[in-house]
Amino acid sequence: MAWKRMALQGWGRVTRAETLASRPERQREVAPLLLAPEAAPGLIAYGGGRSYGDVALNSGGATLLTQRLNRLLDFVPDTGLLVCEAGVTFQDILRTFLPRGYAAPVSPGTAFVTIGGAIANDVHGKNHDRHGSFGDHLAWIELVLPDGRLVRASREEEAELFAATIGGLGLTGLILRAAFHLQKAPSTHFVVHERRLPDLQSFMAAFAEVRRQATYSVGWIDGVARGGQLGRGILQTAEYATGEVPRARPARERRMPVDLPALALNRHSVRLFNEAYFRRVPAAGRERILPVEQFLYPLDAVLDWNRLYGKRGFYQLQCVLPDAAAERGLPALMERVAEAGAASFLAVLKTLGERGRGYLSFPLPGFTLALDLPARPETPALMAQLEAMILDHGGRVYLAKDACLSPEGFRRMYPELPHLQAVLQRVDPAGRMRSDMARRLQIHGAA
C-alpha cells in the first residue's frame, strides 16, 4: 500500500506525468487509498496504460495502478456471465475462456487493455455495428466512490451513475468489479476474407455492403497514398471458423529493441512499407484461417511498437463522422494529413453502429478513422485544423486517443457533458478524481 513517485506516460509517449502512485493488491485496500492524505491533491486510476494521451495521467497528483486487481471471481457457463476485478485484461479473458468456448463480446485492438479501462472509455471493437460497445454488455459495476463508499450501479440501480461511469474517463470513482456477458465462441479461429480496395470511395462502398452482413470488419488504409489512390487499402471481414482449423502454434512476441530514430520514419520509408502491405493481398483477394488473437490484436505481436515513432512519440487522431457526412469529410481529412506530409503508417477505418450508453461514449453511427501522426513541432497546429474539420462535419474525437482537443471543441462534440457534471457534483463535490485530461478539457466546469 506504499506510495511511490513515478513517471507515467500515455501510449503515444507524447504525454507524461510525474505522480505519486500506489498499486493495491486487494479490493479492501482501495477505499483507504482513495481517502489517504496522499490522494488529497486528486487521484486517477491507471489500468493497462493503453490510452494514447492524458486520460489516465495525473501530473502532480496521485494514481492508483489497478493491474494487480485482476482476479476472475465468478462465471456462469449457462448465461456466460463473468464477474471479475477491474484489472483483468482481455488477454486474461482470451487465455482462460477461448479454449472453453467463450469470448469477450467486444474487444479493442489490443489485449493489454483492462476491464476498468474498457468501461472508462466505453471501448468498441471490429464488431460495433453488430454488438455495440463494451458498456452495452455490462450487467453491473461496483465502484468505490471518492468518499470511500462502495456502490453497485446498473441500468436499474444508480442508473445515472452507471451512464456516467461508462465512458466516464475514470472520474466517477474507482471501478472494483464488473459483471458482463461473454459470448459463445464456436472456434479458436476466424475465417478472414481480405480484399484490396483501390481508393476511399470504393472502400466506403464496400463497408456499406459488409457492415450489415459480416460480424467483424476492419479497414487498413495506406495513410500516405494521395490523388487517385487516396484511401486505398485492405478490407478484412471475419466470422468464426466452423470446420477443422490449423493446429495452434505458440504465439511469438517480439519487442521493439530500440526507439527508432526520428529520421528512419520518413515519407519514403512509410511509402515503401505501405506499398508492400497493400500488395501482400493478391488483387483477387484471399481467405485465411487465423487464430482469434491474430485477427483481433495484430499489433500485439510487437510488444512495444509505440517505440517505432522514436523518443518524441506520436499523436493518434481517431474521429467518427456521421454516415451522412463521411463521404465528404473523410477524404478532406485524409487529404489534409497527406498535404501536411504527416507520414502515417496504416490508418484504420471502421464503421460504428448505435450510440453508446455512457454520457461521454464515443460511438455514433458512422465511419471512424484512426491515424498516427508523429510528434513534430507543427503537429498540434495540424491537429487543431483537423479538430475544426471534424466539428464542421458533425463528428467527434475519441478521448481514449486524445492529447490535443480544445475544451470548446470537446463541449461541441460531447453535448451530454452536463449530465456527467451533474453526477460528479453529487458523488464527488470536492473533485477528488482528477486527471490531466479533465484539467485540459475543463471537464469539471468553466470553458
Ligand X SMILES: Cc1cc2nc3c(=O)[nH]c(=O)nc-3n(C[C@H](O)[C@H](O)[C@H](O)COP(=O)(O)OP(=O)(O)OC[C@H]3O[C@@H](n4cnc5c(N)ncnc54)[C@H](O)[C@@H]3O)c2cc1C
Binder among 50, 131, 189, 211 for ligand X (CB under 6 A): 50
In angstroms, what is the minimal distance from the CB of 64 to ligand X?
Answer: 8
List the Cα angle 86/397/17 in 5-degree steps: 55
In angstroms, what is the minimal distance from the CB of 312 to ligand X?
Answer: 18
Show the cell assigned to 289.
484461417
Q: Which of 214, 227, 249 is nearest to 350 (CA)?
A: 214
In angstroms, what is the minimal distance from the CB of 33 to ligand X?
Answer: 12
Per-residue contact flags (x/-) with ligand X for residues 80 to 119, judged by CB under 6 A: ------x---------------------xxx--xx-xx--
Rounded Cα–Cα distance for residues 87 and 162 (Å): 19
Size (the chain), residues: 447
Judged by beta carbon, residue 214 or residue 230, the one nearer ligand X is 214
Query: What is the full DSSP assignment across 102-121?
Result: EE-SS--S-TT-BHHHHHHT
In angstroms, what is the minimal distance from the CB of 50 to ligand X?
Answer: 3
In angstroms, what is the minimal distance from the CB of 221 to ligand X?
Answer: 15
Binder among 170, 310, 329, 395 for ligand X (CB under 6 A): 170
Task: State which residue has the least CB distance to ligand X.
Answer: 117
Q: Which of 209, 237, 204 is nearest to 221 (CA)?
A: 204
Per-residue contact flags (x/-) with ligand X for residues 279 to 298, judged by CB under 6 A: --------------------
Per-residue contact flags (x/-) with ligand X for residues 9 to 48, judged by CB under 6 A: --x--------------------------------xxxxx
Judged by beta carbon, residue 86 or residue 270, the one nearer ligand X is 86
User: At 312, is the secondary structure helix, strand, or coil?
Assistant: coil
Which helix (H) or strand (E) is 345 found in, with range?
none
Rounded Cα–Cα distance for residues 57 and 97 (Å): 31
Judged by beta carbon, residue 199 or residue 305, the one nearer ligand X is 305
Applying CB under 6 A, the span of 166-174, 254-262, 329-337, 375-383 interacting with ligand X comes to: 166-174
Strands in 145-281 per DSSP E: 150-153, 174-181, 183-184, 189-197, 216-222, 233-240
Rounded Cα–Cα distance for residues 94 and 68 (Å): 18
Rounded Cα–Cα distance for residues 394 and 365 (Å): 12
Query: What is the full DSSP assignment across 316-337?
Result: EEEEEEEHHHHHHHHHHHHHHH
Judged by beta carbon, residue 90 or residue 230, the one nearer ligand X is 90
In angstroms, what is the minimal distance from the CB of 65 to ligand X?
Answer: 9
In angstroms, what is the minimal distance from the CB of 117 to ligand X?
Answer: 2
Judged by beta carbon, residue 59 or residue 230, the one nearer ligand X is 59
Identity (one letter) of the amino acid at 29? E
Packing angle, helices 200-210 and 323-339, rounded to 10: 150
User: Could you say whether residue 236 binds ligand X (CB under 6 A)?
Assistant: no
In angstroms, what is the minimal distance from the CB of 219 to ligand X?
Answer: 12
Rounded Cα–Cα distance for residues 318 and 201 (Å): 19
In angstroms, what is the minimal distance from the CB of 391 to ligand X?
Answer: 21
Q: Are 294 and 188 in contact (CB under 8 A)?
A: no
Q: Which of 5, 1, 113, 107 is nearest to 49 (CA)?
A: 113
Per-residue contact flags (x/-) with ligand X for residues 121 to 160, judged by CB under 6 A: x-xxx-----------------------------------
431: exposed, middle or buried (C-beta count within 10 Å: 0-12, 13-18, 19+)? middle
User: Which residues, 369 to 408, sit near ligand X by CB under 6 A?
Assistant: 400
Per-residue contact flags (x/-) with ligand X for residues 59 to 78, judged by CB under 6 A: -------x------------
In angstroms, what is the minimal distance from the CB of 372 to ligand X?
Answer: 10
The footprint of ligand X on this chain (CB under 6 A) covers a number of residues equal to 31
Binder among 120, 224, 334, 352 for ligand X (CB under 6 A): 120
Kindly list the residues in this chain that would bind ligand X in the complex (CB under 6 A).
11, 44-51, 55-56, 66, 86, 108-110, 113-114, 116-117, 120-121, 123-125, 169-170, 174-175, 299, 400
